[in-house]
Structure 1
Amino acid sequence: MRLDKFLKISRLIKRRSVAKEVADKGRISINDKLAKSSSKVAIGDKLTIVFGNKTLEVNVLALHESTKKEDAASMYEIIQEIDTREKPNFD
């Protein structure tokens, strides 16, 4: 399945056009390799997605052509979510 389609169906990103734009700007990697929107996603792949101020790492668990909103989260598991904003140091 194409990366942009997986991101939309799994609801990690709400619109396919936004998923395509994010991937084509080099902000998504599959198994630590830079990915384009047309890259293929397979079960067991690790996706790293850099949003504005957070980085999300997920493991692909399932591929579906379509899902209901409540079933979308079963397509992946979150490995880690990193907040990349600068935190103030009050020491």
Structure 2
Amino acid sequence: MVTAADAALPPAPGLDGLRAAARLHGARDERAFGRHLRTGRAWARAALAESGLDEDALTAALGRPGLPLAKVLDEYLYVTLGHSPPPPAPAPAPR
């Protein structure tokens, strides 16, 4: 079985991971991608702990049996971040 730490690594890090890093952490560089991976690892651990299920049971309960938890979480980010408009730019500071 894949551990929670392993499950947080995307199956194929690449452009989708860099896009998520840019949306979540404001940059498309190694540091932002590292923060994206650490966030994913924490998210996977929290999902496993909160559900009380192992990875296989959790992904089955989410309707994605047989997939790694990392893939399911990555798909969620792709759908929610990849198909939504970027957040508005902050308003300029008052003068």
Same fold (TM over 0.5): no
Calculate the TM-score normalised by the size of structure 1.
Answer: 0.31
Which has the higher relative contact order, 1 or 2, with Cα contacts under 8 A spaced 6 or more apart? 2
Kindly indicate which of the two structures has a greater share of residues assigned to strand.
1
- Bigger fraction of residues in helix: 2
